[in-house]
Structure 1
Amino acid sequence: MFLFQPNSRIKPSPFLEAAILDGLKMANVYNRMIMPTSYGDPEGEYWRLINGVSQWDVGVERQVQLKGKDAAKLAQILVTRDLSRCEVGQGKYVAICDHRGTIFNDPILLKLADDLFWLSIADSDVELWARAIAAERGLDVEICEPDVSPMAIQGPKAEDVVAHVVGNWVRELKYFWFRECEIEGIPVAIQRSGWSKQGGFEIYLKDAQFGTRLWNIFKEAGKPWDIGPGAPATPERVESGLVSVGGDTDDETNPFEIRMEKYIDLHVPDDTIGIQALRQIKVEGFRRHQLGIILEGDTPAPLGVHREDIVASGKKIGMLTNCVWSYRLKANIGFALVDRAVPVGAQVEVLRQAGRSNGRLVEMPFL
């Protein structure tokens, strides 16, 4: 049984009641909200995502809305990717950095109108950051957290399920593009996106009172494809090389170090926060890079509360930022943030809580 007592600090998503009724067993806190992480069968939930279709409560992916005459200007100041050609109905994966070029959020930006943007954020307070920057620069823009909550439908059969609900037009959506519509009178935006590499969509509910109803619409529609509940806390994201900013990064990590160089446009305006630092880092070179690691052993040994040091020849060269058991590789795998001089293929040791463990550094994605 999953028990949760709402309070003003930790809030439920509109889908939490439905998730509990579907057997939710474990959850975490993300963006000051409850994020489902397991329904009691982690391996079954994993294979459902890999082979079928999985339904996720990801209402914790809060939106920061920028609206007004200077909304587009503020959006470009906040993100280090060129938005000059971004069209209405288009989304982009972006980095938000501080003035040092340190990344602290990697949202999906959605352009709903020339004067209206959403930032679908990871786990940090972008709304306060945006408010401070807008006030500091005297911009004419309203900033708020709108009544918008995503639900994800992920897996190789996700497209069939979503098309069954809203029509075959969703099959034509390009990655990160979206379209606003209604589902049985419920206002939503549907985007081809999601925190997996198995394909799928995020359904942005625009009225929280319909959370359980919307969940059940997709649950019923997905029965022919054996839909079931799941969460983005599976080995799939590690196998696929998907970064968790805040988990796989520290207070000095820049986007170049975590394989995000293609999402950084160094030609954006000089007033884009962090861009001048990133230009300098590009010239001077970054000191670390992110690689995969495969550990020896045939027993699942996930990462504990703390990151673990990685050493080579008796010298610390970096840290293990996550570790999970891969059901397909039959090994413990994770992300290593290590000195840039350390090459792919290097044999290393990880100072694990249970003792030293040997490992090998590899390119990502693992699969």
Structure 2
Amino acid sequence: MTELKRTPLYEEHLGAKAKLIDFGGWEMPVQYAGVIEEHHTVRNKAGLFDVSHMGEVNVTGKDALPYVQNLITNDVKRIQDGQILYSPMCYPDGGIVDDLLVYRYDSEHFFIVVNASNTDKDYAWMQEQAGSYEVQVENVSSQYAQLALQGPLAEQILQRITSVDLAEIKYYWFKHGEIDGVPSLISRTGYTGEDGFEIYIAPDKASWLWQKILEEGSSEGVKPIGLGARDTLRFEARLPLYGNELGPDISPLEAGIGFFVKLGKEKFIGKEALEAQKAEGIPRKLVGLEVIERGIARSHYSLQKNGEEVGYVTSGSFSPTLNKNIALGLIRADLAELGSTLDVIIRGKAVKVQITATPFYKREKMK
């Protein structure tokens, strides 16, 4: 049996009596106090996540810009130095290798953050695509720990322990500075649908900063948050998860993230396949679902119309914010009409679901 990897914060999780699970080969906290309580902490106050399992790749060199431009579907030329771009990265057939964040330092230096379980696969793919480009592609994941402070109180709490003016960091921008004396890369990003920051630091500083943020935010009710609430938070905000809404057999157009596919670019891997799919008609569509009878629609449950299978659930759970059972489903595009109903098969029984608008939750104000 392969030994699970651990983040630099493993001892902190043990001390907080977290329930630990295998997540993509990492021993990670799924919950501390409980998923619903942790979910509400982030929506109403602020919560601290250990996301040190995420992968980081540095791309440097004379051809870094054209290399990254070819690698991803989004247009990295349209962002400025200090800005961050979300993008799918596709195979030639239009399937998704991964979705990632591209931090632009300048035209010769990009910092790319990838999903934890995909790090090795993504890095190999990126190296393979280097070809004749004059670039250095380096997996620097071991050099970073990553914390995420998310929620409406995130800025005011973090501001008390940093000289960086956090109000100046706009959504999807980043800065370097110190937090309580710890050199940090601070970005206004996250995976919860709330305002907040993701902080990249040296692994040996992770426990110090983790404790400091929890101590600083204790009067406002800041708590450590596990992967369980991270999933319900991202799901309510309709943020896709690789392996659920995204994968090698799903195109970004089907997954509803076509906005991040810039077909007007001269070239990128997967462009021809995605152009063809758009021209011929996108066969499947990701839709929001509300379960209108009793039951929870779980990932990979079958979706049917008049007894015929028409798709499957990609994510589904009880929504703590909305107090109802909701899901996302990938279904035949011709059936994706708001208000229409389908059946989800739960333990052999057909349960009625209704197609509904997404995101299920959207915060009021975005910086």
Q: Same fold (TM over 0.5)?
A: yes
Q: Is the 8 A contact 1:311 1:317 kept in 2?
A: yes
1:129–1:250 Cα change, 3 Å? closer
Aligned counterparts, 1:19-98, within 5 A: 19-30=13-24, 32-98=25-91
Structure 2 partner of 1:214: 209
The alignment status of 1:12 with 2:6, answered yes or no, reads: yes
The alignment status of 1:248 with 2:239, answered yes or no, reads: no
Choose from 188, 196, 202 the match for 2:198: 202
Counterparts of 1:210 and 1:308, CA distance in 2: 42
Q: Is the 8 A contact 2:72 2:90 kept in 1?
A: yes
Which letter maps to 1:208?
Answer: P
Structure 1 partner of 2:364: none
Q: Deviations over 1:160-210 (max 9, x none)?
A: 1111121461112111100011234422100001101121110111x1111
1:329–1:297 Cα change, 3 Å? farther
Structure 2 partner of 1:224: 219
Counterparts of 1:359 and 1:8, CA distance in 2: 40
The alignment status of 1:171 with 2:163, answered yes or no, reads: no
Pairwise CA RMSD:
2.0
**Residue 183 of structure 2: SS of its match in structure 1?**
strand
1:326–1:149 Cα change, 3 Å? same
1:232 shift after superposition: 4.4
Structure 2 partner of 1:309: 302
More moved, 320-329 vs 91-100: 320-329
Q: Deviations over 1:291-347 (max 9, x none)?
A: 111113456x362xx611100112111101111111233322110100110112111
Counterparts of 1:220 and 1:244, CA distance in 2: 31
Q: Is the 8 A contact 1:81 1:263 kept in 2?
A: yes
Q: Deviations over 1:142-174 (max 9, x none)?
A: 322241222100111111111112146111211
1:249 shift after superposition: 3.1
Q: Is the 8 A contact 1:188 1:204 kept in 2?
A: yes
Q: TM-score, normalization: structure 1?
A: 0.91
Structure 1 partner of 2:279: 283
Q: Percent identity over the alignment?
A: 25
Which letter maps to 1:104?
Answer: V
**Residue 334 of structure 1: SS of its match in structure 2?**
strand
Choose from 118, 139, 159 the match for 1:144: 139
Structure 1 partner of 2:365: none
The alignment status of 1:111 with 2:107, answered yes or no, reads: no
Which letter maps to 1:213?
Answer: W
The alignment status of 1:344 with 2:346, answered yes or no, reads: no
Counterparts of 2:67 and 2:27, CA distance in 1: 30
The alignment status of 1:159 with 2:155, answered yes or no, reads: yes
Q: Deviations over 1:207-260 (max 9, x none)?
A: 111111111121111122111010343222222111112222343211111221
1:142–1:239 Cα change, 3 Å? closer
1:286–1:78 Cα change, 3 Å? same
Q: Is the 8 A contact 2:91 2:97 kept in 1?
A: yes
**Residue 10 of structure 1: SS of its match in structure 2?**
coil
| Number of equivalent positions | 354
1:354 shift after superposition: 5.4
Structure 1 unaligned runs (5+)?
A: 1-6
Choose from 251, 261, 264 the match for 1:264: 261
**Residue 92 of structure 1: SS of its match in structure 2?**
strand
Q: Is the 8 A contact 1:27 1:38 kept in 2?
A: no
**Residue 64 of structure 1: SS of its match in structure 2?**
strand
Q: Deviations over 1:27-56 (max 9, x none)?
A: 3323x4333221141111111011111000
Counterparts of 1:267 and 1:80, CA distance in 2: 10
Structure 2 unaligned runs (5+)?
A: 362-367
Q: Is the 8 A contact 1:320 1:334 kept in 2?
A: yes
